[in-house]
């Protein structure tokens, strides 16, 4: 099997595609799993707030209504946002996963946190909270900085998958710079943050040209892990929730 990156180029070689769709029924399974994990985490440290959430029948997209009453930065580490093994077991047999395999080839989902199962995790971005937004970066930088990330026995290429779960089109979502996977003038360095070595962009933002992707519900983004991307400031009225994971695609 040849590399999926060679036989399935992105439209116009722009470094990403929005052609992959996830069904509403499978999207609903994501919503149920995320809301369950979100509420369970709040119940652990803030049972009274959890009770309020249940009484008001709030979902995670309404989290901004109560987030000032808890320690947001402390409770939402990445480890608290990785969906459990039972979910990843369902996902690898889902129609969406099979569609990805059909298009890109056999793959495993990465396990950067070394949990022993695929790391499928969600992000939670409140309105007007710049601290909730991930900075512009290339995913490839994380792999360059962290040699201990578990790797499969086979030779592989990497692709990132991003799925909007709750989104207000045009007001929040994913920033990408088309064709930036080809740029060789981006400067960066690594620094230890949140228990891991993370990349830090040196090139001024004025020299970058990211755009906000208009993403409909059910419309996912698959992109080259050298593509410059990041989160956009949420200018909507509700929380933006998205899921992401990395495909390790088997090469010949």
Tens of pLDDT, residues 29-52: 999 999 999 999 999 999 999 999
Q: How far is 9 from 188, CA to CA, in rounded Å?
A: 26
* 116 half-sphere exposure, CB direction, 13 A CA radius: 2
**Tokens 């499928």, residue located:** 120
pLDDT of residue 9: 58
Tell me the CATH architecture of domain 10-250.
Sandwich (2.60)
Q: Which of 5-9, 88-92, 102-106, 245-249 shows the lowest mean pLDDT across its residues? A: 5-9
Is pLDDT at 5 greater than 60 in this prediction? no
pLDDT of residue 12: 77
CA dist 130 → 124, 127, 157, 172, 234 (Å): 12, 9, 32, 12, 8
pLDDT of residue 194: 72
**Stretch 100-107: mean pLDDT:** 96
Write the DSSP assignment of 51-102 as a string of letters.
HHHHHHT--GGGGGGTGGGS-HHHH--GGGSBPPHHHHHHHTTSHHHHHHHH
Is pLDDT at 6 greater than 60 in this prediction? no
pLDDT of residue 11: 74
In whole numbers, what is the pLDDT of the chain averaged over residues? 94
Q: Is 193 exposed, middle or buried (0-12, 13-18, 19+ CB in 10 A)?
A: exposed
Q: How far is 67 from 35, CA to CA, in rounded Å?
A: 15
R_g of the chain, CA atoms, integer Å: 18
Q: How far is 2 from 242, CA to CA, in rounded Å?
A: 31
Helical spans, DSSP H, in 76-211: 85-91, 95-104, 139-145
Kindly indicate the confidence band of residue 217, based on its pLDDT and cuts at 50, 70 and 90.
confident
8 A C-beta contact, residue 240 and residue 168: yes
Cβ neighbours of residue 96 closer than 8 Å, sequence gap 6 or more: 20, 21, 22, 23, 26, 220
């Amino acid at each position: 099997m040849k590399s999926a990156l060679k036989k399935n180029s992105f439209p116009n070689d722009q470094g990403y595609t929005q052609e992959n769709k996830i069904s509403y029924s499978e999207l609903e399974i994501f919503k149920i799993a995320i809301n369950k994990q979100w509420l369970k985490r709040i119940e652990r440290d803030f049972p009274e707030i959890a009770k309020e959430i249940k009484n008001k029948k709030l979902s995670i997209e309404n989290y901004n209504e109560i987030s000032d009453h808890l320690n947001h930065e402390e409770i939402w580490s990445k480890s608290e946002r990785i969906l459990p093994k039972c979910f990843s077991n369902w996902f690898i047999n889902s129609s969406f996963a099979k569609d990805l395999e059909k298009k890109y080839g056999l793959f495993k989902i990465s396990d950067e946190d070394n949990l022993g199962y695929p790391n499928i995790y969600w992000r939670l971005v409140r309105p007007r909270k710049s601290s909730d937004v991930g900075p512009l970066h290339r995913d490839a930088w994380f792999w360059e900085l962290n040699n201990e990330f578990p790797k499969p026995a086979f030779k592989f290429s990497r692709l990132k998958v991003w799925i909007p779960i709750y989104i207000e089109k045009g007001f929040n979502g994913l920033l990408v710079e088309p064709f930036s996977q080809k740029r060789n003038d981006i400067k960066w360095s690594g620094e230890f943050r949140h228990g891991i070595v993370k990349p830090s962009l040196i090139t001024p933002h004025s020299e970058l040209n990211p755009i906000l992707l208009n993403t409909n519900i059910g419309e996912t983004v698959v992109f080259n892990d050298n593509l410059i991307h990041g989160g956009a400031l949420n200018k909507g009225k509700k929380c933006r929730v998205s899921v992401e994971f990395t495909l390790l695609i088997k090469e010949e």
